[in-house]
Amino acid sequence: DAGITQSPRHKVTETGTPVTLRCHQTENHRYMYWYRQDPGHGLRLIHYSYGVKDTDKGEVSDGYSVSRSKTEDFLLTLESATSSQTSVYFCAISEGAPSNQPQHFGDGTRLSIL
């Protein structure tokens, strides 16, 4: 199994509070991704990174920011959490670009915003 650790695994917080989710990899892969999964929507890409300090927006980036200061860590921040951001968040990594390289996913973080 790919060495991907997401933390925390579960979190409950209140609307308006900041939240940071962490993805840590031990594979030294260049590419890292954050997805969210909601019933009826499948997985949707939030942000991705193609190297240290190189990030870009995905399909549903509003309300989220990311940072990648070193290869192994990719942080997802909700500056002011809203109830619509209640979801399961998955981190993924890939050695090369996803067009012809597989992505490997973490076990997810279940985030509830009350």
β-pairing, 42-51 with 104-105? unpaired
Distance CA 51, CA 95 (A): 11
Binders in 39-98 for another protein, by CB under 8 A: 42-45, 48, 50, 56, 58-59, 90, 92, 97-98
12 versus 97: smaller Cβ distance to another protein: 97
Count interface residues toward another protein (CB under 8 A).
23
Give, in order, the Cα–Cα distances in Å from 50 to each of 41, 46, 53, 57: 25, 14, 8, 11
User: Pattern of binders to another protein over 11-50, x per CB under 8 A?
Assistant: ----------------------x--------xxxx--x-x
